[in-house]
Structure 1
């Protein structure tokens, strides 16, 4: 697919107040490979939908939707956009649909960003603190060059996980904090010895383990005792108003893509490896974690309790100045109106009997090979 540079398209005046609040992770390279989808539909609209995502494993459904032919089968024209400006572009209203962090969306919405949550995308954190192999204990990071937030006192993952797990303070002055354009850049910096630690989502934690370039010292999964919500399938309000049927189809495509990840994990891993430019072994480790190893963290379910818990955590830990109300950021009806299957029912009927929780990676892969022989 054609990789689109969004930088020139951003209008600086619309973005200045939003950039800092929504930039979480960035950059992705894509190369499509079509596979059969599960259902067909007539084209709803000739409009080309702009869909944004970046190279975090939580966003894998965007790749699968294209490569598995799901968008095409639903009659959708979708242009996938990805680089370091995707979160800002989404917040500035210059993209129709996007996979972005729940924290960024929540804060951006209080500053006028025209976006809301159309569906959930990922529960919990599933983020990692990766350190170089010569870091033997957390204190070894003091004074070292690291790719960490320049303000750890408001860093969600640090306050809720990495800090408590390692005993390291939420004080950025204790480290040499450096900025990088993407998680891929952070990983390369660790691999080449430029930094001693960075935070990321997969595939970069699994890449460090697979290549032996680093190790995971901390894991962010729960938000103050519960999973909460990490990232969401966000939608521009204007897009929903102007293309209501198309908007529903995009939500349905999101759920169908996620179904494919759960029911065809090895095919999804191949797609992931191709789009994210990582070895297929790393992609398999990543898909296993998302669907079995860490629970059913990929989810489209609009769990009001989980979303409200996340908002309460933002307040409790002063992660953002103003915290919105759930009712102000959630599109409550579009998921049901899309015709999507109930997530819990889907897991119970289609996933639990085949890939039960607690299944080892080896058993998971053996079962997956029975479904899609490689």
Structure 2
């Protein structure tokens, strides 16, 4: 009898030890899992610009809150600094116009386009051309010898304008370009420091609503959006080290594009608050909802850069410039 009671007691104690150990093990596993999850969050360095940017919008919508990738803002910088900063690793991800990215890659930069970003539509063009109200500048034919404000050289504003002027019998070499951030062009134009201002969203909306200015045309009026793709690019080292983070970021951008296109007023309200602007003066970008990079949009800029002797034929290949590999909508 005593032997049976002892055996029963031993069995009970053994079972209790196993249960406690399992509980501790479960607790340790949970703690390890939580720690591991915390470590897996990848931050990408990103600039702060006065620009209608889906990274900012996604952040305001809380899409990065539970994600394993999120932006780490590194402060303001001029548009002309963005791609050099991406090349040298000061930032990890950037949105800048396609020709700037191609030119950097042609010079040996290890960066790559991974989503299409924004494109131009009649309602939401990529950029608008403004003059002072009452100006004698009525069309592209009046641009010769004028001073034009733009956000940087080597991108859409410079190349699209020069091409359009040349196609209409003008002389691009007669133009005096002055660079400044988009949100500063209105003042320069109003004070007479420039004759024409090329402005991107969201600031283009403020200029459109200001009676001191008159819009001449947009980039969509020039080429129906062919030149307009303003993609997201990634530093090559970051891409190699964090491919899953780039994949998740692509998915977040797709989600944000769909939300913004479905809720344009709410998107404007969010950007207005971020940039301390009036919501009715904010303009949007149109973002393709699949975020696939179109070959035609890249090839256009390769051909254009060859045309202006910034590239030699065959100097860069399409696969060097962009990839759709991280996009869930991509089908080989």
Question: Which bin holds the TM-score, normalised by the shorter protein?
Answer: 0.7 to 0.9
Indicate whether 1:103 and 2:99 are aligned.
yes
Q: Structure 1 residues 121, 150: CA separation in 2 closer, same or farther (over 3 Å shift)?
A: closer
Q: Structure 1 residues 298, 129: CA separation in 2 closer, same or farther (over 3 Å shift)?
A: farther
| Counterpart position of 1:93 | 89
RMSD: 3.2
In structure 1, list runs of 5 or more residues that go unmatched: 1-41, 343-374
Provide the rounded CA distance (Å) in 2 between the counterparts of 1:52 and 1:168.
39
Provide the rounded CA distance (Å) in 2 between the counterparts of 1:160 and 1:147.
17
TM-score normalised according to structure 2 size: 0.73
State whether residues 53 and 98 of structure 1, in contact with CA within 8 Å, keep that contact through their aligned partners in structure 2.
no
| 1:194-233 superposed matches below 5 A | 194-221=193-220, 227-233=226-232
- Three-state SS of the structure 2 residue aligned to 1:312 is helix
Q: Structure 1 residues 150, 119: CA separation in 2 closer, same or farther (over 3 Å shift)?
A: closer
State whether residues 44 and 93 of structure 2, in contact with CA within 8 Å, keep that contact through their aligned partners in structure 1.
yes
Residues 153-183 of structure 1: per-residue CA shift (max 9 Å, x gap):
x93211344554xx4723343x5x2533311
Q: Compute the displacement of 1:214 (Å).
A: 1.0
TM-score normalised according to structure 1 size: 0.66
| Counterpart position of 1:134 | 134
Residues 118-169 of structure 1: per-residue CA shift (max 9 Å, x gap):
11112347222211112133466555543258899x93211344554xx472
Indicate whether 1:318 and 2:308 are aligned.
yes
| Counterpart position of 1:15 | none
- Three-state SS of the structure 2 residue aligned to 1:112 is coil
- Three-state SS of the structure 1 residue aligned to 2:293 is coil
Indicate whether 1:328 and 2:320 are aligned.
yes
| Counterpart position of 1:309 | 300
Q: Compute the displacement of 1:309 (Å).
A: 3.4
Matched pairs, number: 282
Q: Structure 1 residues 305, 266: CA separation in 2 closer, same or farther (over 3 Å shift)?
A: same
Q: Structure 1 residues 297, 142: CA separation in 2 closer, same or farther (over 3 Å shift)?
A: same
Higher Cα Rg, which structure: 2
1:61 to 54, 60, 64: 54
- Three-state SS of the structure 2 residue aligned to 1:266 is helix
Q: Structure 1 residues 298, 216: CA separation in 2 closer, same or farther (over 3 Å shift)?
A: farther
State whether residues 122 and 299 of structure 1, in contact with CA within 8 Å, keep that contact through their aligned partners in structure 2.
no
State whether residues 110 and 236 of structure 2, in contact with CA within 8 Å, keep that contact through their aligned partners in structure 1.
yes
| Counterpart position of 2:162 | 159
1:52 to 27, 47, 52: 47
